[in-house]
C-alpha cells in the first residue's frame, strides 16, 4: 500500500509532543511491514535540520492557489532517520513557517489551512495517488474536506483518508476567510452543522469537525479516550458529531518506538540493561543523581517528564514534588510550558527548592536527558486531568520505571494497579488513582513509596512485570493497516 502522512510534527525533526513521535513511529512500522510511506511537513525555519539527511529541492515551482491568486512554494525532500519526507516552503509575505516556533500565532488556522492545501496541491501536481492519506489533528483536518469537495473532481478520486485526533482540546476554530482562502468558498454550505459548522459557535467553522465528517475513518489514540470523547466533556463539544459518525470512529492505542526507546541499546544512558540485568539500572540512578545534584541516599527517585500544561494536572505535579519529599523520596522534573504563567510558577518553585538535596527541577526541553531520567528513576508520576494516550507511562514501563497515574484516557488502557486491578498479579504494572485531587494522588504515591521502602522484592516484581509489556508499534501498526484496508475497499 502507498500511504502518505500529512502532519504538523515529526520526531525528531519537528517535535513538540507525542504527535511527532506517533507520526514517526507509525510510519516506520508501516515501512517495516513492506508498505511505502511518505510524509509531508511544513518546512519550519526552527526545525532540526541536523536530523534531516540529504535535504534538497525536489520540486521547484509549486503554485498553491490562495484567495484569488497563488503562493509560490518550493518543496524539499530529505530522509529523517530513514523516513521519506517532503518539506513545503511557501514564499509569501505571510511568512507562515519562518517564525522561530512551531505554534502559538494568531493566524494559526491560516498557516495550517495553507499547508494542508499545499500538501494536496503537491500530490495533485506530482501525480502521486496514495491509497491512503493519513492526517493528524486539527492542523491537517481540512485535507479530507478539500480532497472530497475539490480535488476529487480534478482526478484525485482514489485516495481514502484516515484522520487521527491526538488532542480534542484544540480544534481549529476559524471564520469564513479560510473558506475564501482555500477556494472552498460557499459559506452557507460549509457553515451547516452537518459539515464544518461549529456546534458551540454558529459564526465559526471547526476544522476538526470537518475532519470527522469527511474522513473515511477517524481514530483517536486510545480506546478509553474514544469512549471519553463520545460520552464525556473530553470531546470538547464534538461528542455529538462523533456519535453521528460512530460507525467510522474508534480508538487505537499509540505505540512507542522501541528502537529509540530501548534500555538495552540506548546511547543516552550510562549503563544498558534489560529485565534480567535490572541491577544495572541503578548505575543510571547514580548518574542521574550526579547530573541533577541529588544526594546519594537510600530513597526512590520519582520523576515527571512532560509538558507543563493544565492538561497534565500542574497543581498535582507541584503537590507530588512536596509529597514525595515529605515521604522520603527524591524528585526530578523535566518540563516546560509555552504558557508564561506556568513557566514562571515552576521557575519560582525551582528557586525555592534550589538548596534541597533531594530535588531537582529542569525547566526546558531536553530529549537526551529524558532518556537518562526514564532509566535512572524508580517511578514516574502522571496526574493528568485528561490524557488521550500518553507515551510517558509506556516509555517508563519499558525502562523498568513504575508509573503512578490518574485513571484517564490511555493511562487506563496501559497501567494496571498493583493492589486493585482485576488483572492477575503478574500483569499488574503500576499505581492508579481516580480523583484529580491531593488525597487521590497521595493514596497512590503513598502505596508506591511504601512498597519501595518496605517490600523491595515486591517492587522489583512490579518493575519486571512492566518491562514485559509490549507497547511497541507492532500491534497498533496492524490495527492501522486493518483500517486502511477497510476504507480502501469501500
Contact 144, 201 (CB under 8 A): no
Stretch that binds ligand ADP, among 75-83, 274-282, 361-369, 476-484 (CB under 6 A): 361-369
Exposure string for 404-428, b = 16+ CB within 10 A, e = fewer: bbbbbbbbbbbbbbbeebeeeeeeb
Work out whether 339 is an interface residue with ligand ADP (CB under 6 A).
no
Contact 290, 282 (CB under 8 A): no
Work out whether 305 is an interface residue with ligand ADP (CB under 6 A).
yes
CB 380, min distance to ligand ADP, A: 10
Stretch that binds ligand ADP, among 16-24, 121-129, 180-188, 456-464 (CB under 6 A): 16-24
CA dist 181 and 184 (Å) reads 8
Work out the burial of residue 441: count CB atoms within 10 Å of its CB; fewer than 13 is exposed, 13-18 middle, 19 or more buried.
Answer: buried
**Taking CB positions, which residue lies at the least distance from ligand ADP?**
18
| Cis check: omega of the bond before 12, within 30 degrees of 0 | yes
The DSSP bridge partners found for residue 165 are 220
Work out whether 335 is an interface residue with ligand ADP (CB under 6 A).
yes
Contact 74, 91 (CB under 8 A): yes
Question: Looking at beta carbons only, is 346 or 452 nearer to ligand ADP?
Answer: 346
Question: Looking at beta carbons only, is 297 or 368 nearer to ligand ADP?
Answer: 368
Contact 241, 211 (CB under 8 A): no
Identified binder of ligand ADP from the candidate list 334, 405, 408, 483, rule CB under 6 A = 334
Stretch that binds ligand ADP, among 52-60, 283-291, 313-321, 384-392 (CB under 6 A): 384-392
Neighbours of 186 (CB within 10 A): 13
Question: Looking at beta carbons only, is 9 or 198 nearer to ligand ADP?
Answer: 9
Stretch that binds ligand ADP, among 1-9, 15-23, 86-94, 228-236 (CB under 6 A): 15-23
Question: Looking at beta carbons only, is 144 or 390 nearer to ligand ADP?
Answer: 390
CB 24, min distance to ligand ADP, A: 11
The DSSP bridge partners found for residue 163 are 135, 218
Sheet holding 53-66, edge to edge: 53-66, 69-80, 83-91, 36-42, 2-6, 132-136, 160-165, 217-220, 249-251
CA dist 487 and 216 (Å) reads 6
Question: Looking at beta carbons only, is 39 or 369 nearer to ligand ADP?
Answer: 369
Question: Looking at beta carbons only, is 152 or 268 nearer to ligand ADP?
Answer: 268
Contact 383, 316 (CB under 8 A): yes
Work out whether 390 is an interface residue with ligand ADP (CB under 6 A).
yes
Q: Find where cell 491537517 sits.
A: 140
CA dist 67 and 181 (Å) reads 4
Identified binder of ligand ADP from the candidate list 224, 392, 414, 429, rule CB under 6 A = 392
Look at residue 236 and give its three-state secondary structure.
Answer: coil
Work out whether 222 is an interface residue with ligand ADP (CB under 6 A).
no
CA dist 367 and 361 (Å) reads 15
Enter the C-alpha cell of residue 394.
509506556
Identified binder of ligand ADP from the candidate list 13, 18, 119, 269, rule CB under 6 A = 18
Identified binder of ligand ADP from the candidate list 83, 307, 319, 360, rule CB under 6 A = 307
Work out whether 143 is an interface residue with ligand ADP (CB under 6 A).
no
CB 82, min distance to ligand ADP, A: 19
CA 481 and chain centroid, separation: 20
CA dist 240 and 129 (Å) reads 33
CA dist 284 and 302 (Å) reads 14
Work out whether 405 is an interface residue with ligand ADP (CB under 6 A).
no
Work out whether 306 is an interface residue with ligand ADP (CB under 6 A).
yes
Work out whether 239 is an interface residue with ligand ADP (CB under 6 A).
no
CA dist 198 and 209 (Å) reads 7
Identified binder of ligand ADP from the candidate list 17, 223, 250, 328, rule CB under 6 A = 17
Identified binder of ligand ADP from the candidate list 189, 231, 365, 455, rule CB under 6 A = 365
Work out whether 336 is an interface residue with ligand ADP (CB under 6 A).
yes
Stretch that binds ligand ADP, among 40-48, 170-178, 206-214, 385-393 (CB under 6 A): 385-393
CB 400, min distance to ligand ADP, A: 16
Would you tell me which residues interact with ligand ADP (CB under 6 A)?
17-18, 21, 305-307, 334-336, 365-367, 370, 389-392
Amino acid at each position: 500500500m502507498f500511504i502518505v502522512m500529512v502532519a504538523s510534527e515529526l520526531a525528531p525533526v519537528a517535535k513538540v509532543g507525542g504527535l511527532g513521535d506517533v507520526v514517526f513511529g507509525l510510519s516506520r512500522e508501516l515501512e517495516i511491514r513492506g508498505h511505502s510511506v511518505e510524509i509531508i511537513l511544513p518546512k519550519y525555519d526552527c526545525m532540526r535540520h541536523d536530523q534531516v539527511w540529504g535535504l534538497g529541492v525536489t520540486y521547484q515551482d509549486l503554485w498553491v492557489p490562495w484567495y484569488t491568486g497563488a503562493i509560490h512554494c518550493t518543496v524539499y525532500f530529505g530522509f529523517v532517520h530513514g523516513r521519506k519526507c517532503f518539506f513545503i516552503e511557501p514564499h509569501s509575505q505571510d511568512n507562515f513557517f519562518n517564525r522561530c516556533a512551531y505554534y502559538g500565532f494568531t493566524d494559526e488556522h491560516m498557516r495550517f489551512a495553507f499547508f494542508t492545501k499545499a500538501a494536496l496541491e503537491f500530490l495533485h501536481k506530482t501525480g502521486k495517488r496514495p491509497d491512503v492519506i493519513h492526517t493528524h489533528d486539527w492542523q491537517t483536518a481540512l485535507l479530507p474536506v478539500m480532497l472530497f469537495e475539490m480535488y476529487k473532481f480534478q482526478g484525485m478520486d482514489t485516495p481514502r483518508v484516515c484522520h487521527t485526533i491526538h488532542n480534542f482540546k484544540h480544534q481549529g476554530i476559524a471564520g469564513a476567510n479560510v473558506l475564501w482562502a482555500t477556494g472552498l468558498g460557499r459559506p452557507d454550505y460549509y457553515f451547516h452543522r452537518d459539515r464544518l459548522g461549529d456546534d458551540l459557535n454558529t459564526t465559526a467553522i471547526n476544522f476538526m469537525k470537518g475532519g470527522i465528517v469527511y474522513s473515511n475513518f477517524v481514530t483517536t489514540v486510545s480506546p478509553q479516550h474514544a469512549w471519553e470523547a463520545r460520552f464525556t466533556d473530553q470531546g470538547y463539544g464534538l461528542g455529538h458529531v462523533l456519535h453521528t459518525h460512530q460507525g467510522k470512529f474508534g480508538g487505537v492505542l499509540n505505540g512507542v518506538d522501541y528502537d529509540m526507546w530501548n534500555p538495552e541499546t540506548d546511547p543516552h544512558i550510562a549503563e544498558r540493561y534489560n529485565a534480567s540485568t535490572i541491577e544495572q539500572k541503578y548505575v543510571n540512578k547514580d548518574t542521574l543523581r550526579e547530573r541533577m545534584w541529588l544526594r546519594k541516599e537510600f530513597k526512590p527517585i520519582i520523576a515527571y517528564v512532560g509538558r507543563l500544561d493544565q492538561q497534565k494536572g500542574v497543581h498535582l505535579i507541584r503537590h507530588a514534588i512536596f509529597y514525595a519529599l515529605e515521604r522520603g523520596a527524591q524528585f526530578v522534573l523535566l518540563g516546560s510550558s509555552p504558557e508564561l504563567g506556568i513557566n514562571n510558577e515552576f521557575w519560582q518553585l525551582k528557586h525555592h527548592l534550589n538548596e534541597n538535596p533531594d530535588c531537582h527541577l529542569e525547566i526546558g526541553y531536553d530529549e537526551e536527558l529524558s532518556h537518562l531520567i526514564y532509566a535512572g528513576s524508580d517511578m514516574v508520576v502522571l496526574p493528568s486531568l485528561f490524557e488521550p494516550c500518553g507515551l510517558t507511562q509506556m516509555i517508563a514501563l519499558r525502562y523498568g520505571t513504575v508509573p503512578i497515574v490518574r485513571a484517564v484516557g490511555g493511562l487506563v488502557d496501559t497501567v494496571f494497579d498493583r493492589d486493585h486491578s482485576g488483572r492477575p498479579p503478574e500483569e499488574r504494572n503500576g499505581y492508579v488513582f481516580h480523583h484529580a485531587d491531593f488525597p487521590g494522588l497521595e493514596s497512590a504515591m503513598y502505596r508506591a513509596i511504601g512498597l519501595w521502602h518496605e517490600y523491595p522484592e515486591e517492587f522489583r516484581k512490579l518493575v519486571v512485570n512492566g518491562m514485559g509489556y509490549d507497547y511497541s508499534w507492532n500491534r497498533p501498526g496492524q490495527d492501522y493497516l486493518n483500517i486502511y484496508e477497510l476504507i480502501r475497499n469501500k
